[in-house]
Each structure stands twice: as C-alpha cells, then as structure tokens.
Amino acid sequence: MTAAQAQGAIEPFDAIDVIRAKRDGGAVPEAALRWMVDAYTRGYVSDAQMASFAMAIFQRGMERDEIRVLTDAMIASGERMSFASLGKRTVDKHSTGGVGDKITLPLAPLVASFGVAVPQLSGRGLGHTGGTLDKLESIPGWRAALSNEEMFAQMQGDVGAVICAAGSGLAPADKKLYALRDVTGTVEAIPLIASSIMSKKIAEGTDALVLDVKFGSGAFMQDIDRARELARTMVALGTDSGVATTALLTDMNVPLGLAIGNANEVRESVEILAGGGPSDVRELTIALAREMLALAGQPDADVEAALDDGRAMDTWKAMIRAQDGDPDAALPTARETHQVLAPTDGIVTRMDALPFGVAAWRLGAGRARAQDPVIFEAGIDLHAKPGDRVVAGQPLFTLSAADDARFGRALDALEGSWAIGDEAPVTGPIVRERITA
C-alpha cells in the first residue's frame, strides 16, 4: 500500500466506469486509462477488474491513440533505460516467437560486427516456443544475468552485442497484466500484445527496432492478416515513441532450420556464423541484419561477407566469453535418441511447425511451468524438409531426450504432422512482407 492510500487518498476514477466504457465500445479517456494501469500495478484495481477490462479490450479493440496511452502507462510503471551515453547507435530485434527460431544467436553478433550496439534483452521459453536464454545456457559457463554496468561495458567495448535476461524493472505493469491474460483467455488481443511487447522494447531505450512478426501454424498469429495488423500496430507504437521501427512478416508454417531444441539450436547457429547452415536460417538472419543495419545508418553493409569471412564468428566468440561461456566447449548431447524413418519413397510435402514444437517441448526442450528446468540436449533434428526427395527407410528426423520414456508422447504430438507425396509443395519465400511507418 502506498503512503497516499494509507492516508486514505481519494482515487480519481472508478474501475467499474473504465470497464463499462470499454465494454460498451467507447474509447477510454487518456487520464482514466493511465490511472487504470497505475492503480492495477499498485494493487488498488483487482485482478478480477483488470481481467474484465482486458476481456472488454479483446472484444471491442482499441483506437491507435488508446494503444499508445496504454503502452506509455506500462512504460511509466517501471524504469526506463537509456543508451545515449554509449556513443553508438543501438538496434534491437524482437521476434513474436516460433519453432526452431534461433535467429537472435547469429544475428546479434553479426550486426554488432558492423560497429552497432545490439542490446538483446531476452526471455525464457514457456510452452512450445523456445527461449533464447535457455538455448544459450546450454553453453558451459554462459551467464544470462548481467548488471546494467556489465551490459553497458559489453556494448561499449569491442564486443558490441549483449544477449541477457531482461531485468524485472522494465514495465512491471506488463508483467502483472501478461500473467493475468495468460489465465483469462485474453492473450490474443492485438492491442494487448502490441502494448505488451512494445512497452518493454521502448523502456529498454533502443534507438531502433526490427520486428520479426511470424504467421503460420507455429506462430502466435496463425493468420497473415492478423500478423500484418499486429505488425502495423507495433510499428506505429515504436514510431510514435521515437524508436525507428520496421517489421518483417515471416513464414512459420514449417520449423525454422533443421534443429529444434536448445543445444542443437546453438550448434546450428554456429554453422550460420561459420558461413554455412540451413538456407532458411541464413536467409532470415541476413534479411533481419540488413533491416537492422539500415535503421542504424548502414543500408549498404555487406552482411553476407561478415558471415562468410569470420567477422561475425569472432564477435560471437567474444560475446560468449564476455558472459563467462566457453564458445569452444562441447555442447551437451542426448543419451537417448529415436529415429523416424520415411515409410515410402517420395517428396516431403508437409511438416507442421506447431506439432514439432510441442514434441520438442514434451521431450524436455521446453518447460510447462515457469520454474521447471529445460533439458539442453533434448529436441528434434530434422534430416529432410518439405520439398526434399526421400527414399523409404531414410531417416526423416531424430528425437533426443534424457530418458526414453519421453518418446511416446512426443511421437503422439507428431502424429499426422508430416506427409510424403508425389508432388513438391508450393513454398514461398520466408520473408513475405515488409512493414514500415
């Protein structure tokens, strides 16, 4: 309870009026909306009232100005960082999450190898989408928790890039509201998703931001039209707050790359940094790096050369060492594996991202509850992707786990999720659209 509450200070609004205004389809006035977020953060507005308000937003939507005020109120609930003293341009990337999405790992050092600072404040996975920190923690010694001083020193010096845990001081109102939305069926509202993501990114203090907004079976937004609306809303929010923001709409119908898990995704990222790796991962890494460098004032940067000549790899190694990791250490490998073989000759026509994400999660690569550990060596390695020709008996993918009892439920999740046929599937480019202010 705050001092004002203890003294019986009078609140300027009633939550019920704010809820009714949105429930009946009106726009909530700025002062009332700011108060609602602040009063919820202080515990004056109850979870029941906020859940009802979130549901009203889910049903009725919000105008652009309301979303801006909501985002701003969530930023105001916590600390706001500034990288102004770094003397370098800062550019960040945010992905709405997908299956096999390890792009942050090669992308941050790649962009930093051009002298741009990359503050990549990341999270852990929950459910079928993996978390960047979980993947990196499979590197022996690597440390996710950095003080603000350590983070600044790493960005200022030769490394330039930092991938670390976001502190709890950024947008605490969002933390509370997101947990509430998670259990009240109100996660999927575009104004709430956009304000949640952008409040944290704007509070972080980056100069520029590139959003990877995914659509498809393994994404948060299955439908490209909804993904586009989310991307436009977030680009507008960033722009209105002075953060140069662009978004790419990218395909998440098929797992990204060949590795789904933690340690295996680090291995694949290192292949990309060595100039190789699966073509879709390389293509998306390059596309996002170009966008980030363009926003940082280097539109003509030769991104491919930095992957091929070892500059990005040098920055990766320095970044891992700066956080006490050993980039040359062996990564964990699984005790138990199970191969799934092609039943017939033909062409792989389908591999749905979501079931592969769920299967990797059931193998132990992800967590069901926030407090659960992840098993670094658990996951799935694909040996073929849609469009590839296979012969009967050839391995299609390998499941890895610490305990073979996990294979049954993972295989259940994969039932019907892939197919082999006669005709090559029609596949488009991974980057479908670019959204700018």
Report the interface residues with ligand URA, using CB under 6 A.
178, 187, 192-193, 196-197
Residue number, 154 or 245, with CB nearest to ligand URA: 245
The residues, any chain, with a CB within 8 Å of residue 245's CB and separated by 6 or more, are 208, 209, 210, 211, 234, 235, 237, 238, 239, 437
CB of 340 to ligand URA, least distance (A): 31
Residue number, 126 or 286, with CB nearest to ligand URA: 126
CB of 189 to ligand URA, least distance (A): 8
Residue number, 71 or 196, with CB nearest to ligand URA: 196
Neighbours of 274 (CB within 10 A): 15
200: annotated active-site residue = yes
Contact 429, 254 (CB under 8 A): no
CB of 104 to ligand URA, least distance (A): 14
Residues 180 and 49: their CA atoms lie apart, in Å, by 11
Identify the active-site residue in 92, 101, 134, 174. Answer: 174
Residue with tokens 């509370």: 176
Burial class (CB in 10 A: 0-12, 13-18, 19+), 370: exposed
Residues 75 and 256: their CA atoms lie apart, in Å, by 32
181: annotated active-site residue = yes
94: annotated active-site residue = yes
Cα 322-325-331 angle, rounded to 5 deg: 150
Identify the active-site residue in 102, 128, 200, 282. Answer: 200
Contact 298, 274 (CB under 8 A): no
CB of 101 to ligand URA, least distance (A): 13
Burial class (CB in 10 A: 0-12, 13-18, 19+), 431: middle
302: annotated active-site residue = no
Residue number, 142 or 178, with CB nearest to ligand URA: 178
Residue number, 71 or 154, with CB nearest to ligand URA: 71
Residues 427 and 254: their CA atoms lie apart, in Å, by 10
DSSP H or E run through 68:
helix 64-76
Residues 305 and 303: their CA atoms lie apart, in Å, by 5
Residues 437 and 130: their CA atoms lie apart, in Å, by 29
CB of 389 to ligand URA, least distance (A): 38
Identify the active-site residue in 94, 135, 175, 385. Answer: 94
CB of 96 to ligand URA, least distance (A): 6
CB of 181 to ligand URA, least distance (A): 7
Helix (H, G, I), strand (E, B) or coil at 167: coil
Residue number, 93 or 317, with CB nearest to ligand URA: 93
Neighbours of 416 (CB within 10 A): 9
Residue number, 190 or 396, with CB nearest to ligand URA: 190
Closest-by-Cβ residue to ligand URA is 196
34: annotated active-site residue = no
Q: Which residues are catalytic?
A: 94, 174, 181, 196, 200
